[in-house]
Structure 1
Amino acid sequence: MRLRHGLYALGLACGLLGTGCQKQEPPTVPMDVPVVPPPANTVPREGPAAAAPPVHRVLDAVAAPANAAGATDSTWTTEPVETPRGEPPSVTLRAVRTGTHEGYDRTVFEFDGPRLPGYHLAYVKTPVQQCGSGDDVTPPGEAALEVRFTPARAHDDQGQATVAQRTLKPVLPSVLALERLCDFEGEVTWVLGTARRAPFRVLELKDPMRLVLDVRH
């Protein structure tokens, strides 16, 4: 009898010990969660902002003419693209940045203010000239894509440049370098040295106001 009670007590203790030491499995995450597509009328964030919430709203995609190769996508072109805007006062360029994406390189011009300035984009012959000194500039690559903003400025009220670097050399597949040519009398001009005369497109984004220039690889 004592032996039976001893075995019963030993079994009960082992059972309690096993219950207390039972491993708690962490909750699992279902593997069939559907992927939520980004909202319509959006484009991916660029550069370091890519890890931020997913998209910027597109204000306008410039309807450019078909390129010389007869491309049916009207947003890509090798022809000049122009959107004129007059007064009120000029807006200030605050940042210029570049990055590469699948199939194209992106350059972003960011401005203060509630709207973008007028702009003109076109492939130009080289060398191009600095507007102050008249010095010749020959960007690297086989083509030069000029971006002109007006009315705009790239300096503050004290005359200090708002974009410190006047030359950028990202050496991307298409965009090899950028150089500021002009910041004078309401005109700001940059030139991109590109690997070839590739089709490009223009997007206007807001919050903050940006002009986005994509150049195909």
Structure 2
Amino acid sequence: MRLRQGLYVVGVALGLLGQGCQKQEPQTVPMDVPAASPPTKTVPREGPAATAPVVHQVLDVKADAGKPASPAEATSDSGDAAWATATVQKPRGEPPAITLRSVRTGTHADYDRTVFEFDGPRLPGYQLGYVKTPVQQCGSGDDVTLPGEAALEVRFTLARAHDDQGQATVAQRTLKPALPSLLQLERVCDFEGEVTWVLGTARRAPFRVLELTNPTRLVLDVQH
């Protein structure tokens, strides 16, 4: 009997000793803090950096001085360009040619996005609009057939898609994202200061254009 009681007392003592050695975890505090609203005239960071706590400033896309702005060039106070199917043109001719560094795509609830990223603090001139198919390679003149019912051409001047050694800065000349509106992209020109990509789209859908900074990008959204 005494042996049993002794074992019981020893067990209780060991249990109390074990509890005393346990690390006390700090009490957790719920982090139910509402997200801050982004600054005006900004859009969320897109692409691989979507989780970064950064927004990008939007530059208004306006017509040249003395020329009326087309519906697709008009921008609202919030920095969102209007949707349209008319050609958008913004000439710039300041040398040297600006180097295209990347082309990437993504999809959103109501539109597909293509991002053209460039070196330096400014964009080259550009013209965007639907063109007849098939389109042609600028060097060989060979026809390029794209999927979809429409072809949306994006032409940059003065621009280049290669480095000083002649190596392409965008390795892939064909992209096939197969998104709801954006089916395929094809680079059809990189010659004498002109870089042209053509987007095969599911239909002749309205699009919008945004100029973004830090880094320098032209964003093209095509509605679903």
Question: Do both share a fold (TM > 0.5)?
Answer: yes
Residue 89 of structure 1 is matched in structure 2 by 96
**Alignment deviations for residues 88-135 of structure 1 (CA, whole Å, 9 cap, x no partner):** 211111111111112111101111122100000000110111100000
Aligned pair 1:191/2:198, yes or no? yes
Deviation, structure 1 residue 139: 0.9
Residue 60 of structure 2 is matched in structure 1 by 60
Residue 4 of structure 1 is matched in structure 2 by none
Give the direction of change, closer, same or farther, for the CA distance of 1:18–1:94 in structure 2 (3 Å limit): closer
CA–CA distance in structure 1, aligned partners of residues 178 and 18 of structure 2: 64
Give the direction of change, closer, same or farther, for the CA distance of 1:94–1:78 in structure 2 (3 Å limit): same
Structure 1: gaps spanning 5 or more residues:
1-12, 67-72
1:51 partner SS: coil
Residue 3 of structure 1 is matched in structure 2 by none
CA–CA distance in structure 2, aligned partners of residues 50 and 61 of structure 1: 24
TM-score by length of 2: 0.81
**Percent of aligned pairs sharing the same letter:** 81
**Alignment deviations for residues 60-109 of structure 1 (CA, whole Å, 9 cap, x no partner):** 2456416xxxxxx8611110001110122111111111111121111011
RMSD of aligned Cα (Å): 2.6
On the 8 A contact 1:64/1:77 being kept in 2, the answer is no
TM-score by length of 1: 0.83
Residue 38 of structure 2 is matched in structure 1 by 38
Aligned pair 1:166/2:166, yes or no? no
Which residue identity does 1:57 align to in structure 2?
Q
On the 8 A contact 2:162/2:168 being kept in 1, the answer is yes
Structure 2: gaps spanning 5 or more residues:
1-12, 63-68, 73-79
Q: Which moved more, 1:24-33 or 1:195-204?
A: 24-33
Equivalences, count = 202
